A and B are shown apart, each in its own frame.
Chain A
Amino acid sequence: MKKIPVSDIQDGMVLSREICGSSGNILLGKGVKLSTAMGRRLTNWGIPFVYVEGEEESPEKKKEVEVLPDELKNQLMLKFSNVINNPIMKKLFVTVYQYRLQKSR
C-alpha cells in the first residue's frame, strides 16, 4: 500500500483503503479501480491523498526528495547568518523555514 496525492492518480490504480467524506460517509470503497477522471472529481471533493495498492517509492527516490529541506535551510541560513542570534529573528527563521518547506511540497 502507498499514499499518493490525488493528482498522481493514474488509470487502473486500485484503492487499498476506502475514501471517506467529511461526514464519515464512504465515497469510494476499498478495491475500486481508479481513473484520472475520478481523480479530478476527488480533487473537487477536497480529498488530498488516497491509498492505492503497490510498493512505496524506493529509498533512493525518497532520499532525492529529502534533499530539498537541507537546501532551503542552507539558503535561508545564509540570509539570516548575521542576525540568527537575535531571538526574534531566530523565531522568524524557524517559521519561514517551516512555511516555505510546506509550500514547496
Chain B
Amino acid sequence: MALKDLQKTIENISSISTLPTVIERITRLLQNPKTSAEEIGRAITTDQALASKVLKLVNSAFYGFPGRISTITHAIVILGFSTVKNIVLTASILDVFRRKGTSDLADFDFEQFWMHSIACGAASQSIAKFLGNKDKEECFIGGLIHDIGKVILCQFLPADFIDAYSMSKKEGILFYESEKKLFNITHEEIGGMLAERWNLPKSLQNAIKYHHCPLPSRDYYMNTAVVHCADIFVRSLDYGNGGDDKIPAMAENVWKNLGLENTSLTTLFDNIEDEIEKANVFIQL
C-alpha cells in the first residue's frame, strides 16, 4: 500500500470521527480560568453516553471513589478539572477503540488486544508513579492508546491488518516488523498521523508515534519512555496480546534514563499487577 493511499484513508477517518467536537469543546472550556464546574458538567452531559461512562469511571476503584459520585459537577469538584479532562479524553477515545468493525479478522482476538491496551495503560501509570513522574494520568492514556494505529488498520484496512497479523505469527516476528516489510509504514506512524489530526496533546502524539523507539520524542521523551517500558513489561508478564507473540527489545537509553538498572523490578512488577487489577473497570466500559 502506498503512503499516499494511507494518508487519504486517515483523512477520511478523521472527518467521520466524532472525537474532536466533544474534546475540543471541553478542552477549550477547561483552558478558560473562568469556566465553572457546572459549565463543564453541562458540556459533558450533552453527550449522555459519554457522561455515563465518565461517571462509571469516576466511581471505580481506579479513581478511588467507589460509588460515591453521582453528578459530573460533583466529580469535577472532587477530582479536579485536569483529572476529569483526562477521563473524558479516555472515554471518548475508547469509543473508537471498541468499534470492532464487521470484517472477518481471522483468529485475531480483539478481547486480548483490548486487554493488552488496558494493561499497558495501567502499567504506564504505575511506572510513572514509581519513578515520581507527575504526568501519571497522561502516561495512563498514552499506554492505553499507544496501539491506536493498529485499531485504525483493523477497522479501515482489515485485509492489510490480517496480512500483517498472519505474517507476525508465521515468521515469529513483531507486528511492526511485518508492517514494515509489507507496507513500509507502521502502526506508530499511522496512529501518530491520526493523533495529530485529532489535536491530541503533544505528549500523547509522541507516545503513540514513538513507543517502539522513544528517543525522537525530545521534550516528551520521559512519558514516551514510560509507555515503551510498559509495553515490554506487560508482554513479559503476559497480560493480553497486541497481535504478535514476541517482545521488542528495550531501548538502552530507556533502561538507563528511567534508572531501571538500580530499581527493584519485582517491586515494580507487584505495583503494575495491582494497578492492572484496578484498571479492570475499563474492560466493562
Contact = CB atoms under 8 A, between A and B. Distances in A.
Sort A-B residue pairs by CB-CB distance and give the 3 closest, nearest first. A96-B236, A83-B249, A95-B265
Contacts of B247: 79-80, 82-83, 89
A78 B249 contact: no
B255 A79 contact: no
Contacts of A102: 266
Chain B interface category by residue count: 10 to 19
A88 B250 contact: yes
B7 to A, nearest CB: 31
A88 B237 contact: no
Interface in A74-90: 76, 78-83, 86, 88-89
14 contacts: A76-B236, A78-B245, A81-B172, A82-B172, A82-B246, A83-B246, A83-B249, A89-B247, A89-B249, A95-B265, A95-B266, A96-B236, A96-B269, A100-B238
Nearest to B173: A82
A96 B245 contact: no
Nearest to B252: A88
B228 interface: no
B235 interface: yes
Interface of A: 76, 78-83, 86, 88-89, 92-93, 95-96, 98-100, 102
A81 B250 CA distance: 14
Interface string B252-277: 10010000000001100100000000
Contacts of A82: 172-174, 246-247
B249 A99 contact: no
A69 B102 CA distance: 41
A73 to B, nearest CB: 13
A contacts with B: majority SS? helix
B246 A99 contact: no
Nearest to A82: B246
Contacts of B232: 92
A88 B172 contact: no
Nearest to B264: A95
B281 to A, nearest CB: 23
A99 B269 CA distance: 8
Nearest to B251: A88
A80 B172 CA distance: 11
B248 interface: yes
B253 to A, nearest CB: 11
Given A89-B247, A92-B250, A100-B238, 7 more contacts: A76-B236, A92-B232, A92-B265, A96-B269, A99-B265, A99-B266, A102-B266
A83 to B, nearest CB: 4
Interface centre among A86, A95, A96, A98 (most CB of B within 10 A): A96
A99 B245 CA distance: 20
A76 to B, nearest CB: 8
Contact of A92 (B173, B236, B246): B236
